[in-house]
Structures are given as structure tokens and as C-alpha cells.
Amino acid sequence: MLGIFAAALAAVGWGTDAVLARQGLRRIPPALGTFLSLCAGLVGALIALLIVDPGGLGRYPPSGFAWFGLIGLINFLVGRQCNYNATKRLGAARSVSLFATSPLISILLAVGFTGERPGPTLLAGVALIVAGVVLVVRS
């Protein structure tokens, strides 16, 4: 039950994020909005880290810091900046539906680089995602 609640809380958190960002981005540029949201997220993450896994950072070798630092640049410098720019231009409802296609990108990367072969269920999912994107873009 806790797991179901946590998964639902994740959906509520991410879903609410976009609507709040839309309101904030009415008055400030996306780059500044990204910076402020990261600062807030960093405070929350540090608190969570100190409570759940206080020794977590100490276990990382330099290569681990470099790896996740790169992920931070991709995810926040590129991803969230694009996120906030899209939210400001398209609105929260339309843009979030497009962000949610990211698993499709993961699948394409997996197929392209690891030779993973998609089965019928996965292909049906891809078709639904594409259909959904078309509807959102034309809405």
C-alpha cells in the first residue's frame, strides 16, 4: 500500500510542478525559473539525503561525481530549461503530455544502441504515445 501511495504521490508531485511553473513563468524568464526551482529542489534533496542516507555522498568515487554531474547538466541545464520554455509557450497541460513521451526516447536509445528488440505490447504503447502526441499538438 505504501508503494502505491508513493507512486501516486510521484504523479501528483510532477503533475502539480508544471502548473506551478506555468504561473511563475508568467513573470520571469525560464532560465531564472530553472535556477530557482533547482535551488528549492536541492534544499529538499539535501534534507531527504541527511534523513535517509547520510553517508551516501561519501561512498562516491570521483567518477561517480562526474557521471551524475553530467546527468545534472543534461537533465537541468538542457531538460528543465526546455521544459520551462515549452511550458511558457505551450501551457502546462499541452507541454506535460509531450514531456511524458520521454520513455519513448529511452526505448529508441535502447533499440538503437543495445539491440533490444521491441515486442508487440511495446509497439502498441509506442503507437498510443504517437497518437496522443498528434492529438495534443493539434488540440
Partner 1 sequence: MSPPERPDRAGYLFAFGAATAYGANAVLNRAGLERYGAPLAAVVVALVAGVLALAPLAWRPERRAVGFILASGLCAIVGYSASILALSLLPVVVAAPISGAYPLVTVLLARLFLRTEERVNRRTVLGAVLVVAGVALVTLGR
**Smallest gap, in angstroms, from Cβ of residue 51 to partner 1?**
9
Residues 28, 34, 106: CA angle, nearest 5 degrees = 135
* Whether 84 contacts 34, CB under 8 Å: yes
**Smallest gap, in angstroms, from Cβ of residue 88 to partner 1?**
8
Nearer to partner 1, 24 or 115 (CB): 24
CA atoms of 102 and 38, how far apart (whole Å): 20
**Smallest gap, in angstroms, from Cβ of residue 112 to partner 1?**
11
**Smallest gap, in angstroms, from Cβ of residue 10 to partner 1?**
4
Sign, CA dihedral 34-17-54-77, equals: negative
Nearer to partner 1, 23 or 115 (CB): 23
* Residue whose cell numbers read 539491440: 115
C-alpha cell read off for 119: 515486442
Nearer to partner 1, 15 or 115 (CB): 15
Nearer to partner 1, 115 or 120 (CB): 120
